Amino acid sequence: MFDNDDVVQLVTETGARVTHPDFSSYVDDLDIEAVRALYEDLVVVRRIDAEATALQRQGELGLWAPLLGQEAAQVGSARALDPDDFVFASYREHGVAYCRGVDPTHMLRFWRGSTHSGWNPFEYNMTTPAIIVGAQALHATGYALGMQFDGTDGAAITYFGDGATSQGDISEAFGFAASFNAPVVFFCQNNQWAISEPVSLQSRVSIAARGRGFGVPSVRVDGNDVLAVIAVTRAALERAREGSGPTLIEAITYRMGPHTTSDDRPGTARPLSTRNGNARTRSTASGPSSNRPVRSTKTTSPPCNSAPTTPPRRCAADASRPSNPSRCRCSTTSTPNPTPSSTKSGASSPRTSTASKEPTHEHRHLRGRPDHASAG
């Protein structure tokens, strides 16, 4: 049951029900009304996510971590929990929070920055979002040990992504939970991307195989199959409550949106032609792209404020370095601006026809800045 990498599936991509020798029995109690309720959960959770994303784009939220594409993994696992089980979430489990009874407005307050927490974790037996990647796995393991010492029948479950499995906290949690037989379920939503890094570069083996390497029984499940997710989560929780220790669930799903709304929006990413002095465009994180041109890095630097016929002066603060007129802008009180030199047409040079007011002794070493031609 937990010793191979076969992907558990109870509903095919075309919607047909299939049976599994180990896990079908865990959802035999779900009738048509229960399935309709699950579908309603999926729709409502997606709607919450869409509205929150829109609010962030309008500037009402500082940030949002979309769950688009991961609804079944969250709803299925959350509906398998008992009220006494405790959830240790990452920053993307809005669907789990909804299923635990958290008011959506409480979720939004956290991302708006108008609350110190978001909700009371002990009211819903679920922590508020953990921003430090992977840290919640250690918290869940410790809490599960406490439940074990107290003799309660509950279990802890913690959520994280495939990218978090490269964090040391996850490895420590696996090792500790396996050694002390902690009643904890590790639920990994493998959405194929660690921000922008594909999972194929995160691990040479499946994430479930990583868990087995620590002695944690592991299973892979179709994370877009809500019935299969309920079944494997119930089985893992059953192991935890009967004293059989931790379980790792790798829910294979797909993140259809950005990692967070701070990522570049589709169609506004920076083009690759940003070298060799070519103009480029920038995109904003929370609104439409502004397509602001950036000045070329080949902008030439003016010499120091001195007569064109005299050698450039060295900055007093740069006395130990060779003179480089293109890298300094300085003025001294000893020598006022010289008389402007004439061009061939007799017109004065616009760079040297400045008023002779008292200089400020300000030295500006603007090395590497393409826009320092406008300084001063």
- Per-residue model confidence (pLDDT) at position 254: 92
- Per-residue model confidence (pLDDT) at position 310: 52
- Per-residue model confidence (pLDDT) at position 200: 85
Q: How far apart are the first and last CA of the chain?
A: 72
Residue 9 confidence (pLDDT) above 60: yes
How far, in Å, CA of 57 to CA of 52, rounded? 9
Q: Which residue has the higher pLDDT, 259 or 81?
A: 81
SS (H, E, C) 69-124: CCHHHHHHHHHCCCCCCEEECCCCCHHHHHHCCCCHHHHHHHHHCCCCCCCCHHHH
User: What are the pLDDT digits (tens) for 130-157?
Assistant: 989 999 999 999 999 999 999 998 999 9
Residue 291 confidence (pLDDT) above 50: no
Across-strand partners of 221? 8, 251
Q: Which of 323, 329, 337, 332 is nearest to 301 (CA)?
A: 329
- Per-residue model confidence (pLDDT) at position 286: 40
What is the rounded average pLDDT of the residues 30-44? 96
- Per-residue model confidence (pLDDT) at position 313: 52
Residue 290 confidence (pLDDT) above 60: no
User: What is the number of other CB atoms lying within 10 angstroms of the CB of residue 357?
Assistant: 8
- Checking DSSP bridges between strand 184-190 and strand 156-161, what pairing results, if any? parallel
User: What are the pLDDT digits (tens) for 100-118?
Assistant: 999 999 999 999 998 888 8
Residues 6 or more apart whose Cβ sits within 8 Å of residue 32: none
How far, in Å, CA of 143 to CA of 154, rounded? 11
Q: Which residue has the higher pLDDT, 124 or 353?
A: 124
User: What are the pLDDT digits (tens) for 186-236?
Assistant: 999 999 988 888 888 888 899 999 999 999 999 999 999 999 999 999 999
- Per-residue model confidence (pLDDT) at position 204: 87
pLDDT above 70 coverage of the chain, percent: 70
What is the rounded average pLDDT of the residues 341-356? 46
Q: Which residue has the tokens 């240790």?
A: 88
Decide: residue 33, CB within 10 A, 0-12 exposed, 13-18 middle, 19+ buried: exposed
The backbone torsions φ and ψ at residue 188, rounded to the nearest 5 degrees and listed phi first, read -100, 120
For 116, the token pair is 């110190």
User: What are the pLDDT digits (tens) for 52-68?
Assistant: 999 999 999 999 999 99
Across-strand partners of 17? 11
- Per-residue model confidence (pLDDT) at position 318: 47
